[in-house]
Structure 1
Amino acid sequence: MILPTKYLTADRSLIVVGAEIIKVLTETPRSVSEVWERVTASRTPHAAPLTYDWFLLAITLLYAIGTLDMRNGLLAIVSGAKQ
Structure 2
Amino acid sequence: MIVPTKGVAPQRALLAVGAQIVLATEQQPVTINQAWRRLLSWREENHHRAPLTFGWFALALDLLYALGLVELDRDVLVFLARDDAA
TM-score w.r.t. structure 1 length? 0.87
Structure 1 residue 8, shift from structure 2 partner: 1.1
Q: Distance in 2 between matches of 1:2 and 1:53?
A: 14
Report the more deviating stretch, 62-71 or 49-58. Answer: 62-71
Partner of 1:55: 57
1:81 aligns with 2:68: no
Query: What's the counterpart of residue 28 of structure 2?
Result: 28
In structure 2, stretches of 5+ residues that fail to align are: none
How far apart are 1:27 and its partner, in Å?
A: 4.6
Offset of 1:46 from its aligned partner? 4.8
More deviation in 28-37 or 66-75?
Answer: 66-75
RMSD between aligned residues:
1.7
| Map of 2:15 onto structure 1 | 15
* Unmatched tracts of structure 1, length 5 or more: none
Query: Does the 8 Å CA contact 2:70/2:78 hold for their aligned counterparts?
Result: yes
> Which region of structure 1 is more displaced relative to structure 2, 72-81 or 31-40?
72-81
How many residue pairs were aligned?
83
Q: Structure 1: which 4+ aligned runs deviate by more than 2 Å?
A: 24-27, 44-47
SS in structure 1 of the partner of residue 15 of structure 2: helix
Do the aligned partners of residues 3 and 70 (structure 1) sit closer, same or farther apart at CA in structure 2, a change above 3 Å counting?
same
Q: Is the 8 A contact 2:3 2:10 kept in 1?
A: yes
Q: Which amino acid aligns with 1:81?
A: D
Alignment TM-score, normalising by the size of structure 2: 0.85
